[in-house]
Amino acid sequence: MIPIDDPADPRIEIFLGLRDHHARQLREQPGGDMAGSFICEGDLVIERAVAHGHTLRSVLLSARRTKPLPDAFASADVFAANDDVLSAVTGRPELREPLACFARPDPLDPASLIDQHQTFAVLEGINNPNNLGVIMRNAAALGIDAVLLDPTCGDPLYRRAIRASMGQVFAIPHARLGPFPDALGDLHRAGIATIALTPAGEVELRHLETGARTALLLGAEGPGLTDATLDAVTTRARIHMHNDVDSLNVAAAAAIAFHQIVGGTS
């Protein structure tokens, strides 16, 4: 481990301002010293990123750590700092889990994913990183082949989304679609049925017969899918519920729907 005693050390600049929106933009946008990166945290999540072929650049952790370092850390510089330095850099009073900087991969082509896969989750306007991460984890766990995001969705490689997914965001391919809902035409032309999940659905999802190629559409917590998207899909479906409950958290609804959709295509 390489000791760090100055929060202004340029070698750890990439970790500055974890909760700062501007710093995050610098990491995500092209054309800068901090560009082309993403940050994730925790031994397990970092190991999963490495296992799925992502390039580890550097790690920042507490100098008080006594736990052995995972083998996955061997390919990068590992910087160890005291609590005062870590607090100044990250904005946290303490750093319990290591932070890792990875090279951001080139975005996947949505057309290639549409050609190659059978079952899809299509997300519209989902910006809550916890919901986004859990949806990615559910999709990986329950057999969805790929995730497609509209232009307004959050970043699946944002630190909090990665953590919520427990690193499963690395296990499932994802790509960003073009203008929405026009981009749904690409799925329809490929013979993929689009099913909008909405409390106002005219059919219960459990009674819906699905074909081999199916895309399930999910909207943001609260507003749900836009009217334009609801008008553009093949079918609008709802989850059967009791006790006058009209809706579920979007990640919980996604898990139920993924299980039913994949079961219907197997």
User: Which of 80, 103, 126 is the last residue in one of the domains?
Assistant: 103
> Which band of pLDDT confidence, cut at 50, 70 and 90, is reported for residue 247?
confident
pLDDT tens string 104-135: 999 999 999 999 999 999 999 999 999 999 99
Same structural domain, 123 and 205: yes
Helical (H) or strand (E) element with 265: helix 250-265
Radius of gyration of the chain (CA): 20
Indicate whether 85 pLDDT > 60. yes
Is the pLDDT reported for residue 28 higher than 80? no
Q: Are residues 98 and 121 in the same domain?
A: no
| Shared-domain flag, residues 115 and 241 | yes
Do 142 and 261 lie in one domain? The reply is yes
Q: In the chain, how many domains are there? A: 2
Locus of tokens 């993929």: 192
Residues 243 and 128 in one domain: yes
Contacts 24+ apart (CB under 8 A), 260-265: 260/205, 260/206, 261/119, 261/144, 261/195, 261/205, 261/210, 261/214, 261/216, 262/119, 262/142, 262/143, 262/144, 264/208, 264/209, 264/210, 264/214, 265/118, 265/119, 265/210, 265/211, 265/212, 265/214
Q: How does residue 25 score in pLDDT terms, banded at 50, 70 and 90?
A: low
**Partners of 167 in the beta sheet?**
none
In tens, the pLDDT along 192-217 reads: 999 999 988 888 988 888 878 999 99
| CATH code where residue 31 lies | 3.30.1330.30
Distance between CA atoms of residues 219 and 231, nearest Å: 14
pTM assigned to the model? 0.90
What's 138's domain CATH number?
3.40.1280.10
Domain enclosing residue 84, as ranges: 2-103
